Chains A and B, each alone.
Chain A
């Protein structure tokens, strides 16, 4: 399978204190990778390094075989930030305007949105079940609906990889279930590679195909969720008292 992301010997720290040390990670086309770990284990930092928002102090990061500093094909990447839904709710933007923002690479600098782009926006909104909300102000939607709009925004440029940073924070359980179903659809129907940071270990282990456990400045990946020696890994990263209880979200 084609390697889409590669981290080699990556170290990163804030003010001389390393939070990640000698990280190695390969992500392959079609992976559905969950990144878990306790608070402060630099999960979001790792995602930001892969996206080029932060620069590593040591090591190399490649995306589609290109160094992240030189990577310009942003249309291949979709990103849903941790604080995606904590934007200024008074911002007078419609759902269509927000989703269209990510079409920059296909529209180009100094050019306006055309019919072909509008069709793409409507298609992305249809995929997440939000086509009827096209002309609604984004600030007037519920947290779950806003999250779907941000997924549509990440999808609109037809990306090959989607990065999600704690995407279900502040969203009710019903919307979370819908959200995970949507991700599964993206992964299975559209063969999109998904990297998702989450603190919800139970859900992650149920949904993803690979898990990366982070803690103590390190990262350990597991090829299959079913075979992870969880009690061992959890005790190592979360402490001895940590117990993993898997459950379905059908409360």
Chain B
């Protein structure tokens, strides 16, 4: 496998057509993913860098995930309560919020927030390292950039995304609970409704989604960063592409995962 194709893009045509560009992107992403898997299984693990990335991707993302999920949980409860209370369905409100959060909103919000926060930062950092020859310096010191930079980020993403998804679920439920008081729905009714309608698999399926999103976001951001060229504009371009491509792929994957996990339930 031509591993250096991932960061040596000199052989690519300067003005590729849309099809060429899409194929080149998918090819580079697949190569990087395979090389990362190999590094994940057989390579030397950079535990210090992995812990650092876990803190960055996971711990420091908690506030933004909590805030966005709490408000989203609140607004879903607002809509569902205003509708359901009118038809005497107050006991369904918690279920509606819980299901929406567990299956869709918590995973997708985690994906969006981490893409915006960490995907962009990963692409910018790796892109800057590429154009300032730090990637070459790693290679010159006989250290694989994939092993040192990509594998720790992927491990961190795979571990922290489900945890963030869980935090998003809790925050969303809490946000919804605050709103229920305005509709005279008791907290116990709200929580019992969640218990009744949300099955463990709804929650688990949502977490499976976050694992898939972690893979997409980390791999796309690393690939775009390592493929950056030019100067500051090149890094900006790579960062923008990392965010746009990650988001599009996350939403596409979300549909197919929803179909696979929940459509028959």
Mutual binders A and B: no
Give the B-binding residues of A (Cβ under 8 A): none
Give the A-binding residues of B (Cβ under 8 A): none
